[in-house]
Amino acid sequence: MIYINNKYLDTAGTPASLTTPHNLTKLARLMIKFNTNSTIVDADIPNYKSDEILTRLKAYSIGKFQLDAADQAKCYYCESYGAHVASFQVEHFRPKKSVNAQDTNGVAVRGYPWLSIDWHNLLLSCPACNSTGAKGTRFPIAGVRAVTPHCNLTLEQHMLINPEIEDPATYITFNDLGQMRGIGNGNACKGNVSIGVYTLNRDALVVNRLKIWKDLSSEICEAVYASEKGWFGFLKLSTLYTLVIKKIIKTQNNEQQYALWGRYINENIEQLVGSLIIKKKYKSKFLRLYKRYAQLNN
């Protein structure tokens, strides 16, 4: 999960498909049902799934305003590429119909239908992050829940990270095994609540994240092995090191899968390289080259 505020910077504004006369009429009817405590069903919800909306959210997911042909969109939450998930879903950050009882002390609480076509309430998710066993209709808060359109949403103090308005790196870090962990006070901190609700430590995610560093560290160790075997000189090692360093630095770019993990790798490169089973002189040489290259590319 990375900070992606492109929606708020996009001069294109709200997609026209959200504010069609048909959609606005349907929203008005929806709110009549809400205000009279009538049951709201899926058919009552205005359209929020147009190609225009999906395309723009996909572009935002990798820090862009428009997708290029070769681009791969990512889930806002787990950062998995589209090729690795069944399909992307336009999901409501604040649930449109009802809030999961896990977050309401078991009391039935209606959702936020007035935000059902609010552009800033629509995010891009993979099915795994937005399933019933994950985000679904979850929306835990630490403050006072908004129950009408007139309530102040900021008073809710929502406990889920919204990557469009806040930097996940403020709340989430990793251990060296690729597992996410929250920054703050135990299980109640916003990072850990978000990790749990979005299920960001699913086995497949942890394996995929760890594989990135395993592959890179293997390249380092293989270069060292070849140098020690005399297949090339110590100077040639610098060339191979530089190729690996370029790959490491690239892992933190917005368009890369699991970019937040890539940033952890780069921010903790001394620790990670220090744990490799190679001689100290090889570690020192690698870290000197890494620092030099990183400074040149800042």
Do 52 and 175 have their domain in common? yes
Q: Is residue 56 part of a domain?
A: yes
Q: What does the pLDDT look like over 88-142, one tens digit per residue?
A: 999 999 999 999 999 988 888 999 999 999 999 999 999 999 998 999 999 999 9
Q: Domain boundary at 179, 197, 215, which?
A: 197
By percentage, how much of the chain surpasses pLDDT 90?
A: 84
Q: Which residue has the higher pLDDT, 238 or 186?
A: 238
Q: Which residue has the higher pLDDT, 296 or 212?
A: 212
The boundaries of the domain holding residue 94 are: 6-197
Q: Is residue 270 part of a domain?
A: yes
Q: Domain boundary at 172, 197, 222, which?
A: 197
Q: Is residue 1 part of a domain?
A: no
114, 31 contact by CB (below 8 A): yes
Q: Domain boundary at 151, 171, 197, which?
A: 197
Do 40 and 142 have their domain in common? yes
pLDDT of residue 83: 64
Query: C-alpha 179: how far from its chain's center?
Result: 14
Do 76 and 144 have their domain in common? yes
Q: Is 0.75 topped by the overall pTM? A: yes
- Provide the 8-state DSSP code for 74: B
pLDDT of residue 280: 94
Do 162 and 238 have their domain in common? no
Beta bridge partners of 90: 124
- Mean pLDDT in residue range 240-253: 95
How far apart (Å, rounded) are the C-alpha atoms in residues 161 and 126?
16
- Provide the 8-state DSSP code for 121: G
Do 164 and 291 have their domain in common? no
Do 133 and 174 have their domain in common? yes
Q: How many CB atoms sit inside 10 A of residue 274's CB? A: 11
Q: Is residue 67 part of a domain?
A: yes
Do 18 and 144 have their domain in common? yes
Buried b (16+ CB within 10 A) or exposed e, 45-66: bbebebeebbebbbbbbbbbee
pLDDT at 84 over 60: no
N-term to C-term CA, the chain: 22
Q: What does the pLDDT look like over 177-220, one tens digit per residue?
A: 999 999 987 777 999 999 999 999 999 999 999 999 999 999 99
- Mean pLDDT in residue range 37-44: 93
pLDDT at 85 over 60: no
Q: What is the dihedral of CA 5, 168, 289, 246, to 10 degrees?
A: -50
How far apart (Å, rounded) are the C-alpha atoms in residues 266 and 290?
9
For the record, the structure tokens of 175 come out as 């251990």
For the record, the structure tokens of 139 come out as 């929306």
How far apart (Å, rounded) are the C-alpha atoms in residues 293 and 261?
20
Specify the amino acid at residue 174.
Answer: F
Q: Is residue 101 part of a domain?
A: yes
Q: Is residue 142 part of a domain?
A: yes
Residue 86 banded pLDDT, cuts 50, 70, 90: low
Average pLDDT, the chain: 92
pLDDT of residue 200: 97
Q: No. of H helices and E strands in the chain?
A: 9, 6
Q: Is residue 28 part of a domain?
A: yes
How far apart (Å, rounded) are the C-alpha atoms in residues 89 and 57?
10
The total number of structural domains in the chain stands at 2
By percentage, how much of the chain surpasses pLDDT 70?
A: 98
Do 170 and 208 have their domain in common? no
